Amino acid sequence: MDVYKFNVQEKGVYKWQQTLPEVERLLGDFSRPGDFVVDPC
């Protein structure tokens, strides 16, 4: 499973905005401690 869908928005500014727990889970699943992660958005 490579897509996570959640029904909660942390903020109501942007429809596509992810909550902090979602981002933390994705980072934990797809990176290791010490990896360089870039968010171009």
Banded model confidence at residue 32, pLDDT cuts 50, 70, 90 = very high
CA distance 9 to 18: 7
17-29 residue pLDDT tens: 777 788 888 889 9
Q: What is the mean pLDDT of the chain?
A: 76
* Residue 30: predicted pLDDT: 92
Cβ neighbours of residue 9 under 8 Å, at least 6 residues apart?
A: 15, 17, 19
Q: What is the mean pLDDT of residues 8-37?
A: 79
- Encoded tokens for 3: 């897509």
Residue 40 confidence (pLDDT) above 70: yes
What is the predicted pLDDT for the residue at 37? 86
